[in-house]
Amino acid sequence: MFGQYFYHEILRKTVIGFGTLFNGIEIRHSDNNDDVQSRMKVPLAYGPMQKFLAKIEQQPSLQGRVAITLPRMSFEMTGISYDPSRKASITQTFKTCNTGELGNIKKVYMPVPYNINFQLSIATKLNDDMLQILEQILPYFQPGLSITINLVSSIGEKRDVPITLDSVNMTDDYEGSFDNRRAMISTLTFTAKTYLFGAIADNSDGLIKKVTVDYKDDTNRLTAKRVQRYAATPRALKDYNDDATNAINKDLDSKQTVLSVNSASGFSVDDYIVIGNENMQIRSISGNELTVYRGVDGTTVSDHVAGSVINLISGSRDASLPLTGDDALIVAGDDFGFNELTSFYEDFKTYSPSQGTDV
């Protein structure tokens, strides 16, 4: 179950997105005439505030590099919890297709909702510094703020992740002698409501799979086991007859999606073609120019020189019609593992006449 490796970096992206919210805060000090005398961008780091307090205690003197030490902000991820209130059906799926790769369809199960807890700590020497920082943060959370994160880049899945401000706690350390340094600390807790995706299933084989549940040849339904049988309508993924339908008359690099041909009369929109070892699908036709999806059916996008032959991968677009062209030339018996003899294993259900339903 857990043998398939995948890593979408969703948790990492959420941590980065949260930290970016507080990356541009600054404080300013003014004189009695309200003229700005100094300004400072508040440093932000990932880690517990205790680590930075330990550094402060190592330099208790009020002299020295005060501005470098305080003020300072730090944040850390403190917990992850499942959110049942946003739960979707665990068997529900949706399909997606990358732009420019029409043949590369991917099936994705619905994501699992999780809450990520964050803690933002602010340490300052002056009370006014603390108030300046808080006033630059609190107005944006009412009590939530949404950020857009590219959760799964391979399918272009972008979602708004709400970040909710849960609490604000303030402490002021007056203990110790006057030689000890004062540290004001505010702790803000947040909850980010994100989603975790599982492995992405690649359905780029181009098959139309059908499932039939019946009793096969057994007519005794009192004892018969219902069998789930699969059928597949194959589509050719390469050219078998070397038809050399046409040729390109200009060089085509790996970044171009429009190719120029000598004549477009033999092509139609949605046709599959192959140049060298790269499969393409025609998106549109304008004159003698074909706009195509590059690298479909898992083939590699590559450069092609003028004069390269274009072979048409022909076949019937209607699954109910007999196979034609290259589809009919697929090696006999290649049913992709979907045949009645190999699909009888544990995919069956028993019919109960007393209950009148499948159990």
Fold of domain 10-202: STM4215-like (3.30.2000)
Partners of residue 261 on adjacent β-strands:
248
Weakest mean pLDDT among 6-10, 274-278, 311-315: 311-315
Distance between CA atoms of residues 180 and 182, nearest Å: 7
CA distances from 169 to 143, 151, 165, 187, 192 (A): 15, 31, 12, 5, 19
- Looking at residue 337, its pLDDT comes to 43
Tell me what the mean pLDDT of segment 53-61 comes to: 55
Domain with CATH 2.40.30 in the chain: 246-329
Q: How far apart are the first and last CA of the chain?
A: 25
* pLDDT above 70: residue 97: no
CATH number for 246-329: choose from 2.20.28, 3.30.160, 2.40.30, 1.10.287.
2.40.30
pLDDT digits (tens, 9 = 90+) for 242-257: 888 888 988 999 888 9
Quote the distance between the C-alpha of residue 160 and its chain's center: 13
CB neighbourhood size of 72 (10 A)? 20
Identify which has the larger pLDDT, 7 or 135. 135
pLDDT digits (tens, 9 = 90+) for 34-54: 888 888 888 888 877 666 555
Going by DSSP bridges, is the β-strand pair 183-196/112-124 parallel, antiparallel, or unpaired?
Answer: antiparallel
Question: In percent, how much of the chain has pLDDT > 90?
Answer: 18
- Asked whether the whole model's pTM tops 0.75, one would answer no
Long-range CB contacts (within 8 A, 24+) of 12-15: 13/149, 13/150, 13/151, 14/116, 14/149, 14/161, 14/192, 14/194, 15/46, 15/77, 15/116, 15/118
Domain with CATH 3.30.2000.40 in the chain: 10-202
Q: Are the CB atoms for 259 and 292 separated by under 8 Å?
A: yes
